Structure 1
């Protein structure tokens, strides 16, 4: 084998190894990326089925229910347009309150119930995840545009529970 062919062989083998390494990294990241969705997006089937993702919005007033085991809680997350039921087994963050922003990570199960593995609450009086703030603004704008008098339209997204 000539030196030129050896060099070519090393270059091709090196590129193949780099390609395999990049492919493995991308595959690992794909399985660990946690995307953020609002309840409206979940109802519109934009969220992944059978895969972990994050859902965020406001904890609906009066929806918090604690079960007798002391760890399981049920509450609703809303983006003011749609509402999603959430079940979480664990200790809630100290700052978790009804009417405040929250992000839950988990999977969507049968009957459109979100089973959270982790619940994150806001960290100060004015904080809300940027995605949740944008989603709330869009939902309020869509709701106010649909319910303005004189346009003869009904609300685009009536609240679902």
Structure 2
């Protein structure tokens, strides 16, 4: 399981995992010793608090993957920065998203060739639960961004 999580980010560690019916729950945390403030660029190793962030990734062994990340919020060390705290960020996961970028990409690639309703049905067979409107929103986001 550790190797699969390292594909997302080499600094992630698996605390534990459990398989319940057709779902895998993977509990992870970051092994980084510090994070960079996205507002001013200064590094910090002073943790303010922890919170959990849950998201989905590509299915594993035909099971829906649920990743529960123990995320950290840091104090910014730069006295001139207008933000006192910031959350640890990861390249594989967008701001406030519930799906990894590679899962979103997978959904978009399928939906470009067939209707969103057919995509929804196909993905449900592949253990990815997503609605027609969410598929359309991903396509709209993709078209406005790039």
Larger radius of gyration: 1
Q: TM-score, normalization: structure 1?
A: 0.25
- Structure 1 or 2: more strand by fraction: 2
Q: TM-score, normalization: structure 2?
A: 0.27
